[in-house]
Structure 1
């Protein structure tokens, strides 16, 4: 076993507990969403926010821009591949309709602490379209002075002035899709972006005043080797982003057509994938990054690590976040939202999206209304996912239960993880140990009451 700052990890334990598991960006997980949750249900939850404005949490807004100029073979996102940029004009017109419909139901309290543009490729939009969209959002929502405004960026779409323009619009956080710098790997997944291209974009971001820069990496891609990914890590560490996301590629060609273009014989073996992961974690920790949880690493001074230390870290559909108390409003095709004790998701095609809004209806396709038991279990699972202690007394007060009796079966099931040193359990709390921080998904599964009914294909822990 090797011990490095803030975390212990053992290859033997990883091999033992590398099981299929939900990622818990929500609880219940998105596979439990159903079509009986309708627009009327979503409106009811939106309108409940106006009942007591003093108790309303601030908002987090997600905008989904589905367009991309070219197809990345590994991608599992909801996207539209086109080089016809005129399609965005119509999409923005319908986004405006949706934003206006939702804003009208929320009431006057629209304090907004967070904004995230995802995709697709948000910078598929022209500078004028981005200005138009931001002006629309500022018309309908009151962004707090310290609001986090983030945008995902494909480095291939960055031109002179792009990052400065985004900074002028108020964006202060960005995430670059790096994946891998090796030329053979890039060729195999149809995403060619030399190191110099990413370096210029990162430099421009810093010059534009961006407070936090994230780099996404993916291990398990075709043509990868320990040596090639080690060179990629050299380059990423040289770029010195505030945050790094290290994702495990999930090859599911039966679900995602683009992945059928990948030559399966070029994929690294399970053993090689594990060794790439272990090497990557060691290198990032040795470079001074802090393990936040699951795929996420950050510099010690980054807000993500500060939130982890002061126990305000949260997890939502964008991953780990510093804003724990927000309602999430999603706009655009396939966007997911969380309002009060509910989740909702929009239709996945622009055709259906436009048809709903033409009829004056929100494009809600499915969702989920949480029971009191769901809300309770969500709190416990999310506290585990953020490596925070589960304090029985605090849960008892919040939910009117006796934790030890309510979760007697679950506490019994935790014994195997306690014996392995992944958690400690006493009469008052559950603590995730440094050794257990990589296995919180497995521990969270113990409290997942819906898991037995799930038919989803989950990814492995590593």
Structure 2
């Protein structure tokens, strides 16, 4: 089947599978904080030597990027920084008590929002508070997301002194028309200056986020942006498909579907950018990610150690991931829990000494089996189909069309994603999503796969 025909056939609404079950299908009625904390202790006791991951959500931005699907709070009032950091540190102390001692930390990521909205001094205070109640493993890796226009040399130095060696910059597209409609502006020179300053200080990894499928985006803008990125040679690139979900993110109503490249046109944007990257020494990894040949992410992928969680792909696996701050999601492997989504409610809960958790999911045995299959497909491009599973016939029936189209190969109980199928990982994973098939939504809740 031709590429264009595959695009039309499989361009359906599909989850991104940063978790299974996906958030809309969490069984919130069977979840409570007692069950959640029990799963946290179980996970921690089973893997305390391996360490934990900590994600800290810093939601504030001075301006709204209209493409953004993250939980943000738009303000130019920097007085919000102090109270929010106080609350995050108090939430960390609450988890510290749940774990019963100083946890060993393998990974910390500051996401947002815009972490570099916060002053270097406040970020230093945040990290001092986190590290004072933890044991930092020798191989621990700290990373943060920065905006090229407000990541200062002081930010870079302060976070470097705190142990950060990885930085991710949101680029999206350098085209002025695209930047105008998505309200996200940065120049090539600004990105270059932050990149060079980070490397001069000793940061060992620079990642750029790019997006294809943005409003008014043309093949020429993708080619020009990718060419500029290649000149700067970041160690990693996350090349995401724009997710158009205006029913969830009203800011996306600034433009309409008529402004968006779709179908074959959108696919051509991705393939053009991908080909330029592959011809410039980058290797594709999992879904939407590229890395240079000496990068640890690529080494992990080739060794079968690649892992994927709510923070994206990582070369380090931790069983327990704790999310701090507004909207953060925690994962014990056996359960998920999410914090409240408004700053006011979050601050109120913390002030009242209550965990700011709003919902979650306890995974049953079937969930755990399917979670492993989907994770293996996303990270390794292959999976074992468990024999005797009650849903085995349904899995194979759904996979039949993808096998005929050359996207997967199935031998006995082994599934392997073909090179052509790597562009359709979300569709392949959908075949195993028992929650989705058992309760198909009445309206669209996910962005399209292509």
- The residue aligned with 2:127 is 134
2:208 is matched with: 215
Residue matched to 2:448: 460
In the alignment, what sits opposite 1:4?
none
- 2:399 is aligned to 414
Q: Which runs of 5+ in 1 are unaligned?
A: 2-8, 396-401
Counterpart check, 1:31 vs 2:24: yes
Aligned to 1:5: none
- Cα 1:342–1:226 change in 2 (3 A) is same
User: What is the distance in 1 between the residues matched to 2:22 and 2:179?
Assistant: 32
Q: TM-score, normalised by structure 1?
A: 0.91
> Does the aligned pair in 2 maintain the 1:39–1:363 contact within 8 Å?
no
- Is this contact kept in 2: 1:57–1:327, CA < 8 A? no
Work out the CA distance in 2 between the residues paired with 1:57 and 1:383: 20
- The 10-residue stretch of structure 1 (10-19 or 109-118) with the greater mean CA deviation from structure 2: 10-19
- Cα 1:149–1:283, aligned 2, differ >3 Å: closer, same or farther? same
Give how far 1:87 is off. 0.6
Q: Do 1:293 and 1:438's aligned partners in 2 also have CA atoms closer than 8 Å? A: no
Q: Is the 8 A contact 2:43 2:320 kept in 1?
A: no
Q: Deviations over 1:29-58 (max 9, x none)?
A: 0112354323222222223346x4566652
Q: Is contact 2:48–2:103 with CA below 8 Å preserved after alignment?
A: no
Q: Cα offset for 1:15?
A: 3.6
1:131-189 superposed Cα distances (whole Å, 9 cap, x missing partner)? 11111111122221111211001111122333222211111111100011111211222
Describe the superposition over 1:319-354 as per-residue Cα deviations: whole angstroms up to 9, x where unpaired.
211123331100000000101400000000111112
- DSSP 3-state at the match of 1:213: strand
**Contact 1:383/1:389, CA 8 A, preserved across alignment:** yes
**Partner in structure 1 of residue 193 of structure 2:** 200
CA distance in 2, matches of 1:450, 1:240: 41
Q: Secondary structure at the match of 1:201?
A: helix
Asked if structure 2 preserves the Cα contact closer than 8 Å seen for 1:35 and 1:365, the reply is no
Cα 1:280/1:340, change in 2 over 3 Å: closer
Q: Name which of 350, 375, 378 aligns with 1:385.
A: 378
Deviation at 1:85, TM superposition (A): 0.6
RMSD: 2.1
Alignment of 1:161-200 (within 5 A): 161-200=154-193
Q: Which moved more, 1:250-259 or 1:189-198?
A: 250-259
Which of 413, 424, 431 matches 2:409? 424
1:399 paired residue number:
none
CA shift for structure 1 position 420: 2.1
Q: What's the CA shift for 1:112?
A: 1.3
- Give 1:234 shift: 0.8
Q: Is the 8 A contact 2:172 2:209 kept in 1?
A: yes
Match of 1:441 in 2: 426
From 72, 81, 99, give the equivalent of 1:79: 72
Q: Report the equivalent of 1:46.
A: 40
Other structure's SS at 1:86 match: helix
Cα distance in 1, alignment partners of residues 161 and 395 from structure 2: 50
Once the two structures are overlaid, the 10-residue window that deviates more, 254-263 or 432-441, is: 254-263
User: Do 1:111 and 1:144's aligned partners in 2 also have CA atoms closer than 8 Å?
Assistant: yes
Contact kept in structure 1, 2:51 and 2:106, CA below 8 Å: yes
Q: CA separation in 2, counterparts of 1:321 and 1:82?
A: 31
From 290, 300, 315, give the equivalent of 2:308.
315
1:246 counterpart residue number: 239
Maintained 8 Å contact 1:233/1:280: yes
Quote the Cα distance in structure 1 between the aligned partners of 2:8 and 2:250: 30
* d(CA) in 1 for partners of 2:434, 2:311: 23
Equivalent-residue separation in structure 2 for 1:265 and 1:446 (angstroms): 31
* Equivalent residue for 1:297, pick from 272, 290, 293: 290
Q: How far is the alpha carbon of 1:305 from its aligned partner? A: 1.0
**Alpha-carbon distance between aligned partners in 1 of 2:257 and 2:7, rounded to the nearest angstrom:** 25
